[in-house]
Structure 1
Amino acid sequence: MKFSKSAPAILITSIIVVVATISIISNIISHRMAASFEEGTFAMMSEIVQSKLREAENKAIASAEIIAAMPDVKRAFAAHDKAALVAATKDAYTIQEEKYGISQAQFHLAPATSFLRVHNPDRPAEDLSKYRQIVLEVNRTGAIRKGIEVTTSGIGIFGTLPMTDETGKATGSFEMALEFGPLLDETKKAYGFEMGLYIEESILRDTATSLKAEFYSDQNRVGKFIKFHATHEALMRTLVTSDTINITDEATYLREAGDTPYGVLLQPVYNYAGKQIGVLAIAKNFSDTRSADGQAMILQALLGFISVVLLIGIVLMVVRGLLLRPLQALTARMEAGESTEDLATVSTEVQQIADYYEQRRPTKGRDTEGAA
C-alpha cells in the first residue's frame, strides 16, 4: 500500500467520521433542547389553565360574599321572602354578571333545596341533594366551599358559602358560579390556546336534563365523552379523538392539523367530590419550535459539509504540498545520484534526509558535478 494514497484516504475518512459524529451529537442535543422547550411549554400551559380555574373559583366566592353580606339580603332570606330577595339582589347580580362573568346565583335551604335562582327567579324550588355535593357540604359544615359541579343546565365553577341572619343563626347557603365556555374563550384570547371541554356522556344524561337532544349528536361525541364547549370546533375535532381522550392523568402529545403541528395537553376534570367527570384539552401551535428545530438541523448539516470540504482541502494541501512532493523530488534526485543541496523544502524532516544523503553521496559524483 502506497503512503501517498493510504495516508490521505485514512485522514479523509477520519475527518468524515469525526465531523459526522459531531453533527449527529449536535443534532441530538438540538432535538433535546427543542423537546425540553416543548415540555416547558406544556408545563406553562398546565399552570396557566389551572391558575385560571382557581381564579374563577375565587371570583365566584368573592362575588357571593359581596351579596351575602348585604343586610337587606340577609333579612329577606331569613324571612323566606322571595320578592324582597329578588329586589335586594337583582342590581348587584347584574353588576357581577357584566363585570366578572358571573352566570348563576342561587339561595338554598338546608340541606340542599333550591329556594331562589336569582338568574331565573320563576323556576320553582327543587331538591338538589342528588347531585350538588357542595351545597350539602356547606350546609352540613357551615364552611365555604368551591369547585366544579354538573347541574341540570350543564357544568359550572361554583363558590358556595353559608348564610346567617343578623343574629348569626344559620339560614341556608348562597352561591355564585361561572360557566366554562366564557372562561375558555377568555383564556384563548389572552394566551392563544385552543381549548375544548369534554364531559362524560352518562353524567350529562343523568344530571344535565335541560340540555337539548342535539347536544348529544355524533358530531359532539368523542368516545364516551361529549364536547361541551370548544374554542375552535373543527380544529379540536382533529386534535382530540377517541384514541387519545381516555386519560386519568395529565397527558401530552403532538399532532398535525393540516400542515401545522400542535402540542396537545389533556387534563382530567374532577368535580367537587373528587370524581373525574371529563377531560380538558389545551392545544398550542408548535410551528415556531418545530421550524427552529428543522432549521437547526439544516444548518448543522451544511456546517458539517463545509467543515469536511475545508478539512479535506487542508489535509491534501499539507500531505501533498508539504510532505509528498518534497519526498518525491528528493527520491528522484537520490535515484539519479544528483545533488540535493538546491532542493527547496519547508519540512525539517525532509531537509534532514537530504542533508544525510549529501553527506554519504559518492565523492566521484560530487567531483564530477564540481568540474562541470
Structure 2
Amino acid sequence: MTVDKTLALVTALCIGLVFAIGGAVVIGGNQAQLAASKSREMQVTALLLTSSMEQAASLSATHAMQIARDPLVVGMFKAGDRDSLTRYLKPSYQALASEAGVNMLHFHSADIKSFLRVQDPKNFGQDLSSIRPMILAANRSRQLQKGLEVGLAGLSLRAVAPVAEGETLIGTFEVGVDLKKLMDLAKSASGADFALFLSPAMSGFTPKDQTIAKDSAGLVQESATNSALFEQLHRQGAIGLQRSPVQAEARIDGKRFGTFAQPLLDYSGRMIGTIFIARDISEIDSGFNRAVIAAVAVGLIGLLAGYGVVMIAVRGLVLRPLGALAAHATAVAAGSEGGHAPDSSGLKEFADLRQAIDALAAEHGKRRIEGDEM
C-alpha cells in the first residue's frame, strides 16, 4: 500500500474511532436519559390514577356524611320508608352519577342487611355481615370508612358513614364510585391504559364466569380500559402480584409497551391485587433508534470525508514535494546539472531537506571541478 493511502487510512480510522467513542458516549447518555424519562412518566401516570381514586374517595366520603346527617334522610330511614327515601335521593343520585361517577347509594340496617339501593330499589334484604367488612367496621366503630372494597358486584371505591339519631345507630349509608369511569378519565388525560387485577386468595372474590380456587396464586382481571391488551400481557406472564412498584417493558403484536405495576390495597391497607399500567412506547423507541442510525450515518460520512481530505492533503503537501525532491536528488546523483532543488513546499522539513540536497549538489560540483583541474 502506498504512503498516501496508508496515512489516509490510519488517519481516517483514528477519526472514525473518535466519532465512535463520542457517539457511544452521546448515545449511552441519551439512552440513560430516555430510561429515566420513561420511569418518571410511568410513575406520574400511576400517580394520576391513584390521586384520582383518593380524590374520588374523599368526595364520596363528603357526600356520604352529608346525606347520612340529613334530618329528612334520618327520619325516613328510621321509619323504614324505602319509597320516600328513593324519591328523595333519586335526583341526587342522578346528579352524582353524571358529575362524579357515582354508581351506588346504599343504605344498610343496623343488623347489617341491605335496606335500600337507590339505583336499584327492588334489590334489598341481603345479609352483608360476612362479605362487607367496611360496613361492619363503620357499624361497630360509628366512624366513617372509605377506600377500595370487594363486594358482591366486584371491586368498588366506597365511603360508608354511620346514620344515627343521637346515640342510637339506625344503620349505615354508602356511596360507591365506578372505578372504570375513573380509569377512562385517567386514560384520556395520560394516553396510558389501566387495569385492576384481583387475587382470589387475598380478596375472596371470584368472577361469576370463572372458576378459580380460593387458594389460587393467580390474578383475575376486575376492570380495565383495554381488556384485550391486558389479557395478552397476563398470558405472557407480565402481570403478577407486586409488593412494591415495578417497572418493565413488554412487546405485544410488534408494539413495545412500558409497564408499571404497584400493589392494590383495600380500605384497611390489606393487599388484594395489582394496579397495572401499560403505555405504548413504540414511537419513543423508534425516535431513539432513528437518532442512533443518524449518528452512525454521520460517523460513516465523517470517516469517508476524513479519508478523502487526508488523501488530498498528503498528496499536495507531502507526496508531490517529496517526488520533486527525489527527482532532483536522482538527477544530481547521475551527474546532471540540475541547479537548486525546486522550491515546492513551505513545510520546514522540506526546506531543510532541500537545503541539504542543494549543499550536497554544490559539494559534488566542487569536487568535480577540483578533479578536472588535477
Q: Give me the TM-score of the superposition, normalised by structure 1.
A: 0.85
Cα RMSD (Å) of the superposition? 3.0
Partner of 1:324: 319
The correspondence for 2:282, drawn from 280, 287, 291, is: 287
CA distance in structure 2 between the partners assigned to 1:183 and 1:51 by the alignment: 10
Contact 1:26-1:300 within 8 A present in 2 as well: no
Shift of 1:242: 5.8
Contact 2:16-2:302 within 8 A present in 1 as well: no
Residues 1:253 and 2:252 aligned together: no
Contact 1:12-1:312 within 8 A present in 2 as well: yes
SS in 2 for 1:245: coil
Q: 1:2 to 1:111 in 2, by over 3 A?
A: same
Shift of 1:301: 0.7
Shift of 1:311: 1.5
**Which segment is superposed worse, 265-274 or 288-297?**
265-274
Contact 2:202-2:273 within 8 A present in 1 as well: no
Q: Which amino acid aligns with 2:53?
A: L
Contact 2:201-2:217 within 8 A present in 1 as well: no
CA distance in structure 1 between the partners assigned to 2:51 and 2:163 by the alignment: 28
CA distance in structure 2 between the partners assigned to 1:244 and 1:4 by the alignment: 58
Contact 2:195-2:224 within 8 A present in 1 as well: yes
Contact 2:325-2:342 within 8 A present in 1 as well: no
Q: Which amino acid aligns with 1:257?
A: I
Q: 1:72 to 1:31 in 2, by over 3 A?
A: same
SS in 2 for 1:256: strand
Residues 1:116 and 2:110 aligned together: no
Structure 1: runs of 5 or more not aligned: none
CA distance in structure 2 between the partners assigned to 1:322 and 1:202 by the alignment: 82
Q: Which amino acid aligns with 1:238?
A: Q
SS in 2 for 1:244: coil
CA distance in structure 2 between the partners assigned to 1:118 and 1:126 by the alignment: 15
CA distance in structure 2 between the partners assigned to 1:311 and 1:2 by the alignment: 18
Partner of 1:75: 75
Partner of 2:310: 315
Partner of 1:216: 210
Partner of 1:336: 331
CA distance in structure 1 between the partners assigned to 2:121 and 2:155 by the alignment: 19
Q: 1:323 to 1:366 in 2, by over 3 A?
A: farther
Shift of 1:207: 5.0
CA distance in structure 2 between the partners assigned to 1:241 and 1:62 by the alignment: 40
CA distance in structure 1 between the partners assigned to 2:245 and 2:225 by the alignment: 20
CA offsets 1:207-240 (integer angstroms, 9 cap, x no match): 56xx64xx2179xxx9722222232232222223
Residues 1:275 and 2:270 aligned together: yes
Partner of 2:221: 227
CA distance in structure 2 between the partners assigned to 1:99 and 1:183 by the alignment: 12
Contact 1:30-1:296 within 8 A present in 2 as well: no
The correspondence for 1:244, drawn from 195, 217, 238, is: 238
Structure 2: runs of 5 or more not aligned: 333-337, 369-374
Partner of 1:172: 171
Q: Which amino acid aligns with 2:173?
A: F
Shift of 1:2: 8.1
Q: Which amino acid aligns with 2:30?
A: S
How many residue pairs get aligned? The number is 360
Contact 2:5-2:311 within 8 A present in 1 as well: no
